[in-house]
């Protein structure tokens, strides 16, 4: 996840922490879409990606690396309906 943030935001991944905030690091709505698409494509199966993207409205206001990682983990672990 940190590698995606680093690449999209053009920041050093060594400087990222769990509390790193996407918007504070320069992320805008276009970068957010790019990051979410990259994460979904690289780290999730299609059904997991749909769950991941479906709940993101809860994260957008305070988008930290830890929050996105927790959301990603939840999308991976949730059993299909």
Condensed to tens digits (0 to 9), the pLDDT of residues 1-23 reads 899 999 999 999 999 999 999 98
Every domain of the chain and the residues it spans: 21-77
> Do 63 and 27 contact (CB within 8 A), yes or no?
yes
pLDDT range class, residue 74, cuts 50, 70, 90: confident
Backbone CA torsion sign across 41, 45, 49, 50: positive
Q: How far is CA 8 from CA 18, 31, 35, 76, 81, in A?
A: 17, 7, 7, 23, 33
**17 three-state secondary structure:** coil
Q: For 11-70, what is each residue's pLDDT tens digit?
A: 999 999 999 999 899 998 889 889 888 988 998 898 888 888 876 776 666 688 898 888
């Amino acid at each position: 996840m940190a590698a995606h943030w680093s690449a999209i935001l053009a920041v050093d991944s060594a400087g990222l922490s769990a509390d790193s905030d996407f918007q504070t690091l320069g992320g805008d709505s276009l970068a957010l879409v790019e990051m979410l698409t990259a994460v979904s494509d690289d780290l999730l199966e299609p059904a997991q990606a749909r769950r991941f993207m479906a709940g993101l409205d809860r994260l957008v206001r305070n988008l930290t690396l830890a929050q996105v990682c927790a959301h990603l983990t939840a999308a991976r672990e949730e059993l299909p309906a």
